[in-house]
A and B are shown apart, each in its own frame.
Chain A
């Protein structure tokens, strides 16, 4: 609750504050002067936060010489389409965006299904190996994934899966944080309702799908957003797995562009902008879930 509303809600501190503030001589003016530095500080922080972003937008509409020319361009230019054309030509960027999108969507869907199922199983039933599985899930959260890079790379190589999408998607499908999050949310579900559904003759799957799952919808939404973001951002594993340009994801393609002998800087800026746009959109539409998803992501550590 508190987590999801962090960006927009009001704090409890204030309520008391207003009543108990001492009213001195011309309090409004004095208060205003006292508060000016706060506004100034926040303005500076906001400008710093926005400037690189703004520069990315402006820069992606200018040619490379203009980016490094004096004075710096401060208004959008007219090179957007030229930059886009070059971006498309050098790394087939439309394909790259589609790859990223496809991988992220498929990964998110399957990962969510796995997490929801395992979370429900762990929360509701007792079965052999349950304790072991729960333990493994907890350990997964504490072990840095980089340990797995070498052996997973070898596994993928011997399976002949290098340069394939499934090699990017499969190894990290079982997301410990997701399983744990869903388990926690199912634990809160009153067990009497499940019993009642059974007495009414609903099967296990039906009980799960019709009765239990709808209640966990907010957590599921946060998980889906978090999972999508983490896959969209994923860099080191796709970098290791994909070596054909037409199969690259966006971060891998940007990395390749940096390494080219003649770097297309304005193209890079446009590419970065396009890489960020989906996350921006997601944030604007699902602000609440986005924030709680990020915070959940933080739990993963």
Chain B
């Protein structure tokens, strides 16, 4: 769905003219050698492994999951309950809380991170800048860390008693913060950790977008007497639009599907302050083994993701 943004920049569109011919036939009838005969439909053979895997490990479980969401299991017996599991979603305070938390990350963390990434990318794209490659490498470094590993490091750094962060804050006279055991500080910690890990990653994508802006645009704006700020708001930002939509949507879906970071940092606590829909799904499905309800939560995720995708599609289509 989002492929065009980068695809066009990454690999040129050269071979489209070949497309028409390709459709034609598989050229197998042209020869009568044994291999050719055996591979009557070579395309199908090439695609077979993927098709089989997708059927077994994607299509089948997907349908099963939908089917299961209409059942409830108690005492080892499954019974049809219709839409009851879905009705539960609306009255479950933990669903509300997990969506609230995801929404909070969405409203606070995503803009913060995209803003930082745009600013960084813009500065790192200035030609007069010395040590440009060095700065780029250093700010990209967090994106090279293993997900669970960086979350572990943050967990240790954020320890209340003697943790590195509290000790550093102590140097400037701030008293120890109970990062991971206070509802709001835990959210702050989670937002800080995710922002640390993903800003450099988004910076690189935006940097690629910046480098794709034709130089003549700047030239023309300058001749028309545009200042630095005007160029930034009138040329750079509009030109970055597709990239910005792309990074925002990716981050939004990432926030919705967050699991690794909040599981390692707080296990969704304290008092479910960092519970996200996927973490809740994990707890319902694999702690309480309530498969029916877990499937309903899963389908709630599908619906929300689909809505985001549609909104993105709409925004992408209308030209500014």
Contact = CB atoms under 8 A, between A and B. Distances in A.
B146 A52 contact: no
B39 interface: yes
B143 interface: yes
B64 A146 contact: no
A186 B320 CA distance: 33
Given A49-B196, A189-B15, A147 B148 contact: no
A48 B281 CA distance: 33
Given A203-B35, A294-B204, A133 B47 contact: yes
A207 to B, nearest CB: 9
A125 B154 CA distance: 50
A272 B15 contact: no
Contacts of A223: none
A301 interface: yes
A205 to B, nearest CB: 8
Interface stretch (A39-47, A75-83, A88-96): A39-47
A191 B10 contact: no
A126 B26 CA distance: 7
A72 interface: yes
A45 B139 contact: yes
Contact of B146 (A122, A142, A232): A232
Contacts of A153: 285-286
A301 B249 contact: yes
A198 B57 contact: no
A127 B43 contact: yes
A154 to B, nearest CB: 7
Contacts of A69: 162
Contact of B162 (A68, A155, A236, A251): A68
Interface of A is mostly: helix
B113 interface: no
Nearest to B143: A294
Contacts of B142: 49, 52-53
A144 B302 contact: yes
A118 B3 contact: no
Interface string B189-225: 0000000100011001101101111110011001000
Given A121-B43, A138-B1, A52 B153 contact: yes
Nearest to B159: A68
B167 A133 contact: no
A184 B253 contact: no
B65 A150 contact: yes
Contact of B127 (A13, A39, A126, A240): A13
B179 interface: no
B183 to A, nearest CB: 20
Nearest to A130: B43
Contacts of B3: 180, 184, 299
A161 interface: no
Contacts of A184: 3, 7, 11
A45 B199 CA distance: 10
Nearest to A278: B146
Given A55-B153, A123-B22, A150-B291, A41 B123 contact: yes
Interface in B134-161: 134-150, 152-157, 159, 161
Interface in A1-30: 1-18, 20
Given A121-B46, A133-B47, A188-B14, A127 B26 contact: yes
Interface of B is mostly: helix
A295 to B, nearest CB: 6
A157 B301 CA distance: 24
A298 B254 CA distance: 10
Interface residues of B, number: 135
Interface in B1-47: 1-3, 5-7, 9-16, 18-19, 21-28, 30-31, 33, 35-36, 39, 41-47
B129 interface: yes
Given A118-B50, A129-B44, A188-B14, A235 B147 contact: yes
A179 B183 CA distance: 42
A126 B28 CA distance: 12
B294 interface: yes
Contacts of A296: 6, 10
A143 B302 contact: yes
A56 B150 CA distance: 9
Given A138-B1, A187-B15, A192-B18, A147 B302 contact: yes
A18 B58 contact: no
Contacts of A272: 146, 149-150, 152-153
A17 B305 CA distance: 42
A292 B39 CA distance: 35
Contacts of B201: 294, 298
Given A41-B123, A122-B47, 4 more contacts: A118-B47, A143-B62, A188-B15, A273-B149
25 contacts: A6-B211, A11-B211, A14-B127, A45-B135, A45-B139, A72-B167, A118-B50, A121-B46, A125-B41, A125-B42, A125-B44, A126-B26, A133-B51, A137-B54, A142-B306, A144-B257, A147-B61, A147-B65, A149-B281, A150-B291, A191-B21, A204-B36, A235-B260, A268-B156, A279-B146
Interface of A: 1-18, 20, 35, 38-39, 41-42, 45-46, 48-50, 52-53, 55-56, 59, 67-72, 113-115, 117-118, 120-130, 133, 136-138, 140-144, 146-155, 170-174, 176, 179-180, 184-185, 187-192, 195, 198, 203-205, 208, 219, 232-233, 235-236, 240, 250-251, 254-255, 258, 265, 268-269, 271-273, 275-276, 279-280, 283, 290-292, 294-296, 298-299, 301
Of all A-B residue pairs in the complex, the 9 with the closest CB atoms, nearest first, are A14-B127, A125-B43, A121-B46, A68-B162, A12-B215, A118-B50, A151-B61, A174-B53, A251-B148
